[in-house]
């Protein structure tokens, strides 16, 4: 019940739907228990007493009862669903908000497919219990309770004999819950794995096809699919084992009723009508008790789902947005790293070791070094995507953890190596970070990013829809859209993370030209593998295995006899082009 308690804030505010629905459930249940009583009167007072004048009254009474029951049933069903749907709307919303707040560290370990299945299947599982299961549980308990009272009213000894098997039934139902709960948890987990596999396959289809790994992926999927099938079969077998057993126990009660009740009627201690009514009443106890298995099953599913939802809701938000963080004035763009060390995970080697540097406002810094040297890590610390393990990062002289997080990030623009484009129009993609801009501003940004020409060649220009992940555009075109996007944000600090890697030399030069203008008055970090991309930087920092091994201007480093010169020599083939651009 702990899980339900923890999730209470989502469903309890809507308790009015639930309570009203419950009221109508009670009416329906009460009418259900009246049926056997009407039957008893019909047999004892009408048929045996041969008083047929009562029949029209009984019939009319019966019809009225059925009408009330119909209306009550509609209302309880509708309000119950309303309760479930409304609660889950808020739950889904909270989960989504949480996902937006969770840090990159969380996503490094999360799997998209699994998250998707939590946000859909698990939320639905929880809803089902709220909308139907919870109410059903109360209905069943109430039906059993009133049936027992009526049974005791008719005959205490017969009620006691019939009830004798009930404790056994309760034990079996409890045992069933104990087995079925872990089974449902593994079903959910296995479905999460399956979804992850599907999602990764669709996202990585290029890689799979180019490496001809289709058969390998099919066999991996088959293994996961098989696991999912196995856990489902296991659950079905638990169900299949317990259900007949519960039915058998229920039938024992019927047999006891038949033998002892029959004897009571023969001995004239009980009327025939009462015995017939007893049969229906016992069904109202045994049936719901077995049905309790189904409800317990739903409850277990909801509990397992709730657990997985709480995992997300309670996940630690390790990047904390300070209360009243600096947010008033525009960030100017002076960046300082003071003895910064970064470890992504506790057991990993540091990705950055004791990094210190200071970049005055508006300057251009080039970051170069082998892959994995730590270039991107430096820029990800500035935006607080990750926190330094040691040391501090300052912007405009203030520790970045004292800034309002949104304010900080709004002033830092990224053009990434693999920009993500949404499946919407080009126009909206460019304006993604600044939705209030006019079409004119979008076009100006696109022109400056050298994107206008190719956009205008597309069938619907700026209104052209992009496929999922911006399919339908070349790497260079995607990058230019992303440059235009960064331009519109008008950041104080611009990060170009291998931004021109996907474009040909000619386009690179034209983008470089545009970027040069864009970089004015902004502190710019250029991460590049090609020297041609950062040779104009005011300072170039050469990184190796998380450490700064060299720093200076292009000209200083060129004759330094260090790693930069070696990189330059390796890229000798490009030398002519680089010289040409000087």
Ligand X SMILES: Nc1ncnc2c1ncn2[C@@H]1O[C@H](COP(=O)(O)OP(=O)(O)OP(=O)(O)O)[C@@H](O)[C@H]1O
Site of interaction with ligand X (CB under 6 A): 108, 344, 351, 369, 371-377
**Distant-in-sequence, close-in-space partners of 290: CB < 8 Å, separation ≥ 6:** 169, 243, 246, 247, 250
Nearer to ligand X, 35 or 344 (CB): 344
Q: Rank residues 324 and 371 by Cβ distance to ligand X and give the closer one.
A: 371
CB of 206 to ligand X, least distance (A): 19
Write down the least CB distance from residue 400 to ligand X, Å.
18
Nearer to ligand X, 123 or 352 (CB): 352
Q: Are the C-beta atoms of 176 and 296 separated by less than 8 Å?
A: yes
Specify the residue, 372 or 467, whose C-beta has the smaller distance to ligand X: 372
**Residue 352 Cβ, how far from ligand X at the closest point, in Å?**
7
CB of 378 to ligand X, least distance (A): 7
Those residues with Cβ within 8 angstroms of residue 572's Cβ, 6 or more apart along the chain or in another chain: none
Instruction: Please report how close the Cβ of residue 371 comes to ligand X at its closest, in angstroms.
Output: 3
Q: By C-alpha distance, which of 335, 342, 372, 375 is closest to 357?
A: 335
**392 forms bridges with which residues in the sheet?**
338
> What are the phi and psi torsion angles at 484 (to 5°)?
-60, -40
For residue 278, give every residue at least 6 positions away whose Cβ sits within 8 Å of its Cβ, in sequence order, or none.
36, 151, 154, 155, 158, 162, 257, 261
Rounded Cα–Cα distance for residues 420 and 198 (Å): 20
End-to-end CA distance of the chain: 71
Find all residues with CB under 8 Å of 519, minimum gap 6, and list them.
364, 494
Q: Which C-beta is closer to ligand X: that of 5 or that of 347?
A: 347
- Quickly tell me which residue has 């939802």 as its tokens: 309
**Cβ(26)–Cβ(264) below 8 Å:** no
Nearer to ligand X, 219 or 371 (CB): 371
Shortest distance, position 417 Cβ to ligand X, whole Å:
7
CB-wise, 69 or 353, nearer to ligand X? 353
Which residues neighbour 97 within 8 Å (Cβ) at sequence distance 6 or greater? none
Going 442 to 443 to 449 to 454, the CA torsion angle's sign is positive
Nearest distance, CB of residue 340 and ligand X, angstroms? 12
Q: Residue 216 CB, nearest distance to ligand X (Å)?
A: 25
Residue 2, both tokens: 């702990």
Between residues 155 and 501, which has the closer beta carbon with respect to ligand X? 501
Three-state SS string over 2-25 comes to HHHHHCHHHHHHHHHHHHHHHHHH
């Amino acid at each position: 019940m702990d899980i339900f308690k923890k999730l209470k804030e989502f469903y309890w505010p809507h308790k009015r739907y639930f309570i009203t629905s419950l009221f109508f459930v009670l009416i329906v249940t009460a009418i259900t228990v009246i049926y056997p009583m009407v039957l008893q009167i019909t047999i004892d007072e009408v048929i045996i007493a041969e008083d047929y004048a009562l029949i029209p009254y009984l019939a009319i009474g019966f019809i009225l009862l059925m009408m009330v029951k119909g209306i009550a049933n509609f209302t309880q069903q509708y309000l119950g669903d309303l309760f479930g749907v409304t609660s889950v709307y808020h739950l889904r919303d909270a989960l989504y908000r949480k996902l937006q707040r969770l840090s990159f560290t969380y996503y490094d370990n999360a799997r998209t497919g699994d998250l998707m299945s939590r946000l859909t299947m698990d939320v639905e599982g929880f809803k089902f219990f709220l909308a139907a299961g919870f109410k059903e549980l109360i209905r069943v308990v109430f039906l059993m309770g009133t049936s027992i009272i009526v049974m005791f009213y008719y005959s205490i000894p017969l009620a006691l004999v019939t009830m004798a098997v009930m404790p056994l039934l309760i034990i079996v139902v409890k045992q069933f819950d104990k087995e079925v709960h872990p089974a449902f948890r593994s079903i959910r987990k296995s479905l999460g794995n399956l979804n992850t596999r599907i999602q990764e396959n669709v996202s990585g289809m290029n890689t799979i096809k180019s490496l001809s790994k289709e058969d390998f992926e099919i066999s991996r999927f088959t293994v996961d699919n098989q696991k999912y099938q196995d856990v489902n079969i296991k659950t079905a077998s638990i169900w299949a084992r317990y259900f007949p057993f519960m039915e058998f126990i229920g039938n024992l009660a019927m047999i006891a009723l038949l033998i002892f009740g029959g004897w009571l009627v023969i001995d004239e201690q009980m009327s025939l009508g009462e015995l017939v009514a007893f049969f229906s009443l016992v069904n109202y106890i045994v049936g719901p008790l077995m049905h309790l298995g189904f409800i317990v099953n739903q409850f277990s599913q909801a509990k397992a789902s709730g657990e997985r939802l709480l995992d997300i809701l309670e996940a630690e938000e390790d990047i904390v947005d300070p209360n009243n963080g600096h947010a008033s004035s525009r960030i100017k763009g002076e960046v300082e790293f003071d003895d910064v060390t970064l470890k992504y995970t506790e057991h990993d080697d540091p990705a950055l070791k004791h990094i210190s540097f200071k970049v005055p406002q508006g300057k251009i810094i080039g970051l170069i070094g082998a892959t994995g040297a730590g270039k991107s890590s430096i820029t990800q610390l500035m935006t607080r995507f990750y926190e330094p393990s040691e040391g501090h990062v300052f912007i405009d002289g203030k520790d970045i953890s004292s800034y309002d997080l949104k304010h900080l990030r709004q002033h830092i623009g990224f053009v990434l190596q693999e920009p993500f484009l949404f499946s919407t129009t080009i126009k909206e993609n460019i304006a993604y970070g600044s939705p209030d801009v006019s079409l004119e501003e979008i076009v100006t940004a696109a022109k400056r990013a050298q994107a206008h020409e190719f956009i205008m060649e597309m069938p619907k220009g700026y209104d052209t829809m992009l496929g999922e992940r911006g399919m339908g555009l070349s790497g260079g075109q995607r990058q230019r859209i992303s440059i235009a996007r960064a331009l519109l944000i008008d950041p104080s600090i611009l990060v170009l993370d291998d931004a021109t890697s996907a474009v040909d030399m000619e386009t690179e030069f034209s983008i470089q030209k545009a970027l040069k203008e864009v970089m004015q008055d902004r502190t710019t970090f250029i991460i590049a593998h090609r020297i041609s991309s950062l040779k104009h930087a005011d300072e170039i920092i050469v990184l190796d295995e998380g450490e700064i091994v060299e720093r200076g201007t292009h000209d200083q480093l060129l004759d330094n006899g260090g790693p930069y010169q070696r990189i330059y020599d390796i890229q000798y083939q490009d030398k002519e082009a680089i010289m040409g651009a000087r």
